[in-house]
Structure 1
Amino acid sequence: AGKLLAADLEPALSYCTHLVYGYAKIDETTFKLTSLDETLDLDSGRSNYHAVTNLKKRFPGLHVLLAVGGPADTQDVEKYLTLLETQESRTAFQNSARTLIRQYGFDGLDLAWQFPEIRVKKERGTFGSIWHSIKKTFGYGHNHVDEKELEHRNGFTTLVKDLKTSFKVDGLLVTAAVLPNVNASAYYDASALAQHLDSITLLAFDYKNPSRNPQQADYPSPLYTAGGRPVNETADAAVKWWTDQGIQGSKIVLGISTYGRTWKLTTESQISGVPPLTADGPGGEGAQTKTPGLLSYPEICALIPNPNQRATGHLLRRVTDPSKKLGTYAFRLPDSEGDGGIWVAYEDPDTAGDRATYVKIKGLGGVALYDISLDDFRGVCHGDKYPILKMAKNRFLPSLVLLKKRSEGFGGLEDSPAGKVWTRYIFPLILVAMVVIDKNTVMTVEVLEDYMDQTENLWFCTRRTVWKGRGYTGIERKKRTREFREMDGEEREEEGPASFSGRSSWSSWSPYLPQ
């Protein structure tokens, strides 16, 4: 039930130019990059590494990367910090990574580094808050989870720099994914990393989830804050922090989840369903996800009635957010015996479109969907396959239609108005299927099932177009770039989102497996 097969994947790959296979792991003794499961990945087993990189033969525009870390490598996670402490261990990782990537034909490495998560803030009463303040005053109330934060921060910067120097010889890419609930300011020297990373993906979701917050159900992935919620637990805050460090927006990719987080409701939960509300741990697992507290979009969709009907029986009542700040949720109150209550917050095509619009307005690199197997890849909800993916993509569509009309195939833009303004840079094997003048667009898609064997390995792919701004001829260069829209049979110039400065790099994203 819900298995993503090879035939199901192909429509998604047609949108993509980059694919990342996850995850590889770090050997806790040698600190070398190795396969997480040799029976699945290596040629001595099912040869999934080569199966993935061989997709480039079928999809000539694909770049295939290998991801390391994430939540899959659960054995001795402290090794991710220990590795950063000595040059010897970093060199062992660097050399083994280059060897493994070249051996199996990958095009780069994505670092989904396992830094410690921020501790969950306890809900305290008035007395508890006063006592906690007193303890902090005398040094007993700190929230440190790593006594070597600065050493690990500097070690990670050095690792990225050395990887990029080593990989540059072969034209390999180095990207990073910031996992949820990690203190970016503690572990990422943003300004230093920007010089060496090809992209930075912000997995700005799961701020609230039933594993971290079992007794309180609330929006897991707000775009903005509202209702007194923490300002720092929003996608906008994550983007703002990185851009405040001087990171080019074109290097930032914003994550969008394709699943919902569920909690059990009890007789003590508010009958309105309005969050935050009292809960009793994660909701039941779905037939597809098989993970308590996690449902895929089609699993949620099956529980939502027609908008013109009232939720009855096992169905849930859907509540949208007109402010477009927090997201969508649905719920069912428990029965008289306290059973059957559920509350789920999730991304749907509308909220995904809102995030894509945010990315476009902010001039970011693009969006990252995690993961495509949890999108409706068979079209069971409304007959349309990959509705979340398509909605996110379509928010970038207006500029796409036009240049495909004005230029032929992969030729230059000399025959179009844009040709007077822009020079297009095409990296090797990049398939420019979506052309966006007003930004560098990255469409990231992840796959939960192994393409050949339907295992629990993860893939994702990205779509991007690379542009570099040139001076206008006879026109004063403005702060905003040009969009060309078709109006009355003609193409006219309009001001669009922020202009580029210099060559920007394509972006990729390492998956985060929900727990």
Structure 2
Amino acid sequence: MKFTLICCLLLQAAVVISAQKKVVCFWGTWAAYRAGNGKFEVSNIDPTICTHIIYSFMGAQEDGSVTYLDSYLDLSENWGKGYIDKFIALKTQSSSVKLMMSIGGWNAESAVYSKIAATATGRETFAQNVLNMINKHGFDGFDFDWEYPAQRNSVYGSADKANFVALLQTLKSKLAANGKLLTIAVAVVEASASLSYDIPNVAKNVDFINLMSYDLHGSWEGVTGINAPLYAGSADISSYQKQLNIDAIVNYWVAQGAPRDKLILGIPLYGRSFTLSNSNNYGVGAATSGAGNAGSFVPESGFLAYGEICLNIKNGVFSRYWENTQKVPYAVGGNQWVGYDDSESIAYKINYIKDNSLGGAMFWSIETEDFNNLCGNGKFPLVRMTYQALVGNEPITIPPTSAPTQSPSTIPTNAPTQAPTQSPSTSAPSGPFICPGNGLFTNPADCGSYYNCWAGTAYLQLCPSELVFNPNGYCDWKYNYKCV
């Protein structure tokens, strides 16, 4: 009887543990080399607001060996900074946090992993070396960030798909036997994920899956777009465009057989930035001339750390706008435009995680948060609110959509919630058209233009050449909508 009772209690405890939401925090160690407000050391990490923290990155070689990418940062020998030991010492501040290491990333060669995964010997050697590295330093597990099987400079192409499953099986066998976690970070959009992953069999062999649900739009597209929209925008017309949002991503992975509780929703702590072609045309879908200027926190064009974005808004350099259809903000300052996430959009994502029974949230990456409280909302405000809501089960109240911090002088004080496929070339107020409300409306006199109504004022705007305005709220090809 006592044995049965104990078994039942243990089973209940296991259910509770497995049901707890995760807040997974990636840390890019190279932020130690940044200057000023962008510099981030291991001492800046708060281990009490993440359930898992992932040290990024270690390296691998074609022979299956596992290497240090920066021995000066990673190790204490030869007067190094000893980041790994200091990272593991975070356990003294939080006994519950899981501290993991990651191999891979965008800059790693896909060819290396393609070769490792292709043979049983390669898989066995790599798995053993991963375990050796974990045990040497005291990590709790391993995150594999192969970007991506069967893509980029893969050696074996489509064979990577099955080989990746075989490699995960080998890794899982070794790591699980030693009480270590195995997770992966994955390409998420259907057009890419379908090339790389046998999703049901991948999911069987990992503890959870970190969805890299960001970089869905960027300066490579030629028009402004949100980094990680929750839902599709009204200008997302093609089947591919409709894949570029979190809701479509989650639905695809679930439909392909991934258990909901193994899906960890990726949230970016940075924005993708653009330089506007015309600073008077600044909505989602506005024409751009290239990437946004590099910031002072992270010296990379087309990229702005959240800490710098919120500081620019606080100081009046940027004005914040809300894209209601996609449930995300963007900010504009002169000809600079950035789509990003803040407390309001993350509140929607937290509720989405809960409503869809997902396993939790993942952040890429903590060194671009407001970790020094420059914006006045405390250190790590976005990660902290997520942890409190998902792990602490504190209620999330989504604030009302806020107005921009300052109003541009030549355009409405808020961007339309439904953007055209490309921003028009004019935005001057028109004549006798009477606005029936806020939004986009057909111009009865011209199929190639429309009215953008805001606060009772009508602004005549033009569709790009060869397109006509569709009453559904976007500029469309003539063969899709016959304007009469």
Cα distance between partner residues in 2 of 1:93 and 1:8: 32
Aligned-residue offset at 1:107: 1.4
Structure 2 counterpart of 1:364: 358
Q: Which has the higher contact order (CA 8 A, sep 6+)?
A: 1
Unmatched runs of 5 consecutive residues or more in structure 1: 120-144, 334-340, 402-515
Q: How many angstroms apart in 2 are the aligned matches of 1:109 and 1:331?
A: 39
User: Which whole-Å CA distance do the structure 1 matches of 2:127 and 2:227 have between them?
Assistant: 35
Shift of 1:392: 2.4
CA distance in 1 between counterparts of 2:74 and 2:327 reads 39
* Structure 2: distance between partners of 1:62 and 1:397: 12
The reply on whether 1:227 has 2:234 as its aligned counterpart is yes
Check whether the contact 1:222–1:326 (CA below 8 A) recurs between aligned residues. Answer: yes
Matched letter for residue 273 of structure 1: Y
Q: Deviation at 1:395?
A: 3.6
CA change 1:16–1:237 in 2 (3 A) is same
Checking the alignment, whether the CA contact within 8 Å between 2:114 and 2:154 is kept in structure 1 is no
Q: Which has the larger helix fraction?
A: 2
Select which of 87, 111, 119 maps to 1:52: 87
Q: Percent identity?
A: 27
Partner of 2:173: 165
Match of 1:257 in 2: 268
Q: Which residue of 1 aligns with 2:298?
A: 289
2:320 to 300, 314, 318: 318
Structure 2 residue aligned with 1:244: 255
Counterpart residue number, 2:56: 22
- Match in the other structure for 2:158: 150
**Residue 107 of structure 1 corresponds to which residue in structure 2?**
140
Query: Cα distance, 1:147 vs. partner?
Result: 8.4
Secondary structure of 1:246's counterpart equals coil
CA contact (8 A) 1:219 1:326 kept: no
Q: How far, CA to CA, are the matches of 1:82 and 1:6 in structure 2? A: 33
Q: Structure 1 CA distance, aligned partners of 2:100 and 2:179?
A: 12
| SS at structure 2 position matched to 1:224 | coil
Inter-partner Cα distance in structure 1 for 2:307 and 2:393:
30
- CA distance in structure 1 between the aligned counterparts of 2:321 and 2:83, rounded to whole angstroms: 42
Q: Indicate if the aligned counterparts of 2:47 and 2:93 stay in contact, CA closer than 8 A.
A: no
- Root-mean-square deviation (CA, aligned residues, Å) is 2.5
Correspondence 1:68-87 to 2 at 5 A: 68-73=103-108, 76-87=109-120
Q: What's the CA shift for 1:272?
A: 3.3
Q: Using the TM superposition, give the Cα deviation of residue 257 of structure 1 relative to its aligned residue in structure 2, in angstroms.
A: 0.6
Contact persistence 1:65–1:107 (CA under 8 A): yes
Alignment TM-score, normalising by the size of structure 2: 0.68
Relative distance call for 1:374 and 1:147 in structure 2 (3 A) is: closer
Q: How does 1:18-417 map to 2 (within 5 A)?
A: 18-28=52-62, 30-45=63-78, 46=80, 47-73=82-108, 76-115=109-148, 148-179=156-187, 183-210=192-219, 212-213=220-221, 215-229=222-236, 230-267=241-278, 271-304=280-313, 315-323=317-325, 325-333=326-334, 341-396=335-390, 399=393
CA distance in 1, matches of 2:243, 2:71: 40
- Offset, 1:326: 4.7
Residues 1:118 and 1:382: Cα distance change in structure 2 (over 3 Å): farther
Letter in 1 for 2:296: A
Q: How far did residue 256 of structure 1 move?
A: 0.6
Alpha-carbon separation, structure 2, partners of 1:305 and 1:175 = 37
Count residues with an aligned counterpart.
352
The residue identity in structure 2 corresponding to 1:80 is: Y
Q: Is the 8 A contact 2:328 2:341 kept in 1?
A: yes
1:190–1:242 Cα contact (<8 Å) kept: yes
Which residue of 2 is the match for residue 418 of structure 1?
none
Counterpart-to-counterpart distance in 1, 2:155 and 2:213: 25
Residue 122 of structure 1 aligns with which residue? Answer: none
Per-residue CA shift, 1:282-304, capped at 9, x if unaligned? Answer: 11111111111111122112322
Runs of 5+ consecutive residues of structure 2 not aligned to the other structure: 1-35, 396-484
Within 5 Å, give how 1:455-474 maps onto structure 2: none
